[in-house]
């Protein structure tokens, strides 16, 4: 049994077998967040798709508070380590087994600046994450354009977390094509309606996906459980 909780924007927690990880923990300053950091339950790890402020978010304070490991690309992990957080460096194409499950970093086409890195020393490639937890695979696309690389995941993903907000990432049309490429059982839209510039209608996304996948639209604070 895997429980996915949406915390607004691109932030999710994944729980299985008594372990909990958080992805892209942008809570402070996130107008869509359902909880403040001090009410976030303890996590075992903080997984990051990239270093923009709306994804790196509260990663460092959460990791320090919980003794959790930040899992990210080499450069972003090095930045987090420079700020005093425990970190595990990986890179795109690589996978690693952790106590909570397995993480593989996959390509994403987006920007690589790290929020708070004033010297530009830790610029990195953004990524998507394929997290295997509780025997199920969850693909968090990160911030990305539609990419042909997504086809490499075809049939290997149970639940896909896909941006639909346009402007900075895929919009609805490309997100539907991403679902065609990946063929997940279930897809949950993200990265929309947090700010005016990424307004999108998840109902329209659901209609356009049609019978290609089960679309689960989560409001911040809502949970999807599957096995």
Considering the complex, what minimum distance in angstroms separates the CB of residue 227 from Ni ion? Answer: 32
Nearer to Ni ion, 169 or 186 (CB): 169
Q: Is 24 among the residues that bind Mn ion (CB under 5 A)?
A: no
Nearer to Ni ion, 9 or 136 (CB): 9
Query: Footprint of Mn ion on residues 128-147 (CB under 5 A)?
Result: 143
Nearer to Ni ion, 44 or 143 (CB): 143
Q: Is 24 among the residues that bind Ni ion (CB under 5 A)?
A: no
Which position among 15, 24, 54, 66 is part of the footprint of Mn ion (CB under 5 A)?
54
Considering the complex, what minimum distance in angstroms separates the CB of residue 60 from Mn ion? Answer: 18
Considering the complex, what minimum distance in angstroms separates the CB of residue 3 from Ni ion? Answer: 26
Query: Footprint of Ni ion on residues 123-152 (CB under 5 A)?
Result: 143
Q: Is 166 among the residues that bind Mn ion (CB under 5 A)?
A: no
Nearer to Ni ion, 2 or 48 (CB): 48
Nearer to Ni ion, 24 or 66 (CB): 24
Q: Is 52 among the residues that bind Ni ion (CB under 5 A)?
A: yes
Considering the complex, what minimum distance in angstroms separates the CB of residue 36 from Mn ion? Answer: 20
Terminal Cα distance for the chain, rounded? 4
Considering the complex, what minimum distance in angstroms separates the CB of residue 140 from Ni ion? Answer: 13
Q: Which residues contact 55 (CB under 8 A, 6 or more apart)?
A: 10, 24, 26, 48, 49, 142, 143
CA within 13 Å, CB half, 133? 30
**Interface residue list for Ni ion (CB under 5 A):** 52, 143
């Amino acid at each position: 049994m895997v429980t996915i909780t949406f915390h607004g924007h691109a932030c999710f927690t994944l729980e299985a077998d008594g372990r909990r990880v958080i992805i892209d923990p942008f809570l402070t300053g996130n107008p869509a967040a359902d909880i403040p950091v001090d009410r976030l339950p303890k996590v075992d790890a903080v997984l990051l798709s990239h270093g923009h402020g709306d994804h790196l978010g509260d990663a460092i304070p959460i990791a320090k508070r919980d003794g959790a490991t930040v899992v990210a690309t080499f450069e972003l992990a090095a930045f987090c380590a420079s700020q005093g957080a425990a970190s595990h460096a990986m890179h795109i194409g690589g996978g690693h087994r952790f106590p909570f499950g397995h993480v593989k970093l996959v390509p994403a086409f987006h920007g690589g600046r790290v929020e708070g890195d004033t010297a530009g020393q830790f610029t990195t490639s953004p990524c998507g994450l394929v997290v295997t937890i509780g025997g199920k695979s969850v693909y968090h696309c990160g911030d990305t354009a539609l990419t042909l690389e997504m086809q490499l995941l075809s049939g290997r993903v149970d639940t896909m977390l896909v941006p639909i907000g346009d402007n900075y990432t895929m919009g609805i049309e490309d997100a539907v094509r991403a679902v065609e490429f990946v063929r997940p059982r279930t897809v949950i839209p993200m990265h929309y309606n947090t700010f005016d510039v990424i307004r999108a209608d998840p109902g329209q996304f659901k209609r356009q996906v049609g019978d290609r996948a089960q679309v689960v639209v989560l409001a911040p604070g809502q949970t999807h459980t599957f096995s």
